[in-house]
Amino acid sequence: METKEVDVDAGRPQPQAIRGMEPQDIAQLVNIEREAFPTQWPPTPFRQDLRNRMARYLVSWHADRLYEPPAQPPLPPPTPNIILRWARVVVDKFTAPPAPEEPTELISGYVGVWLIAGEAHITSIAVAERFKGSGLGELLVLGALEMALDRDCTVCTLEVRVSNTVAQNLYTKWGFEIQGVRKAYYMDNREDAYIMTTPSFSTDAYQDLFHQRRNAFEARYGPVPRDFGLAPS
Ligand SMILES: CC(C)(COP(=O)(O)OP(=O)(O)OC[C@H]1O[C@@H](n2cnc3c(N)ncnc32)[C@H](O)[C@@H]1OP(=O)(O)O)[C@@H](O)C(=O)NCCC(=O)NCCS
């Protein structure tokens, strides 16, 4: 049977292990996104989103580890349509960010959040394959919720594939509930999405759940900073 090696020590969240995305992180985020969502194209325009006042990204990072660019960055996934395949190769060649010139910290995951009209929307979350199962997904959801609470949002919402039970477990743990279905939401296989939303942040019940979960997370993985170094929105 094939066994999966989990780099537990490297994945264990440490104090200060979450912060806002910086331009030098983008090459690593592109690779994590390609690995996590192999059928998603075009890629997320991380660079443009850095200038977008509504978009915020948090990354989990490792102060004691440096990023080593892969000799061969992951290629876009194959597609049966040859014209689309070549278009992808060309577009990716010209849009993929180069690996940072200076040594930079290792990034293991990211979460993207849009803050619009008092609501937070988690647009994407992914942890690099070799770091999965060591609390980083949870750290990123915690960070996204903390940021939303901090900015006086009323709720947080997201879409998730109906087949993605791993992500649904994660969101349920942090109080998200299924509120509806978006039919054929995903373009690659026309899979439905569940809409998952937290209860109103202003309710005592949600405040209690959030603080309970935060305390349990810190007891299990160590302290999480309150300030992620993000510019105010
Ligand atoms: C979803 C994802 C971000 C979770 O990240 P992770 O770092 O592996 O998750 P964590 O270790 O923080 O686990 C947090 C919770 O998620 C759930 N979970 C994680 N791995 C799981 C698994 N293999 N099976 C079932 N539930 C799982 C559990 O509820 C877990 O809590 P627990 O440790 O108390 O059981 C990660 O699997 C990923 O990147 N997936 C690919 C991209 C993706 O699907 N993104 C979501 C798009 S909506």
Residue 209 domain flag:
yes
| CB-CB contact of 31 with 156 (8 Å) | no
How far is 205 from 155, CA to CA, in rounded Å? Answer: 13
Query: Please, how many CA atoms are within 13 Å of residue 102, restricted to the half-sphere of its CB?
Result: 5
Nearest to 155 by CA among 211, 201, 117, 205: 201
> Listing from the earlier edge strand, what are the strands of the sheet with 193-197?
18-20, 55-66, 105-116, 119-127, 155-161, 193-197, 177-182
| CB-CB contact of 43 with 30 (8 Å) | yes
Kindly give, in sequence order, each residue whose CB lies less than 8 Å from that of residue 75, ignoring residues fewer than 6 positions away. 89
Residue 228 domain flag:
no
Of the pLDDT bands very low, low, confident and very high (cuts 50, 70, 90), residue 28 is very high
Q: How far is the CA of 37 from the centre of ligand 1 (A)?
A: 14
**Mean pLDDT, to the nearest integer, of 90-113?**
80
Residue 99 domain flag:
yes
Catalytic position from the list 57, 171, 206, 221:
171
Kindly give, in sequence order, each residue whose CB lies less than 8 Å from that of residue 215, ignoring residues fewer than 6 positions away. none
How far is 215 from 224, CA to CA, in rounded Å? Answer: 10
Can you give the residue range of the structural domain that contains 189? Answer: 8-221
Whole-number pLDDT of residue 175? 98
Given a cut of 60, is residue 220 above it in pLDDT?
yes
- Ranges of H-type helices in the chain: 8-11, 26-36, 46-50, 82-95, 136-150, 165-173, 204-221
Tell me which residue has its CA closest to atom 22 in ligand 1. Answer: 166
Whole-number pLDDT of residue 230? 66
In three-state secondary structure terms, 174 is: coil
CATH number at residue 26: 3.40.630.30
Which of the pair, 65 or 27, is modelled with greater confidence?
27
**Mean pLDDT, to the nearest integer, of 146-150?**
94
Ligand 1 pocket, CB under 6 A = 36, 125-127, 132-138, 160, 164, 166-167, 169-170, 173
Residue 101 domain flag:
yes
Given a cut of 70, is residue 74 above it in pLDDT?
no
**Probe target for ligand 1 pocket from 166, 178, 214, with the most ligand atoms within 8 Å of CB:** 166
pTM, entire model = 0.88
Residue 107 domain flag:
yes
Residue 233 domain flag:
no
Q: Which range is least confidently modeled, 100-104, 154-158, 206-210, 218-222?
A: 100-104
Whole-number pLDDT of residue 69? 77
Whole-number pLDDT of residue 140? 96
Ligand 1, atom nearest to 139 Cα: 12
Q: Which range is least confidently modeled, 15-24, 87-96, 116-125, 222-231?
A: 87-96
Q: In percent, how much of the chain has pLDDT > 70?
A: 79
Domain count, the chain: 1
**Mean pLDDT, to the nearest integer, of 127-156?**
95
**Probe target for ligand 1 pocket from 170, 171, 194, 213, with the most ligand atoms within 8 Å of CB:** 170
Average pLDDT of the chain to the nearest whole number: 86
Q: How far is the CA of 80 from the centre of ligand 1 (A)?
A: 30
Residue 214 domain flag:
yes
β partners of residue 158:
122, 196
Residue 1 domain flag:
no
Write down how long the chain is. Answer: 233
Ligand 1, atom nearest to 32 Cα: 39
Kindly give, in sequence order, each residue whose CB lies less than 8 Å from that of residue 198, ignoring residues fewer than 6 positions away. 145, 155, 156, 157, 174, 175, 176, 177, 206
Tell me which residue has its CA closest to atom 43 in ligand 1. Answer: 126
Given a cut of 80, is residue 84 above it in pLDDT?
no
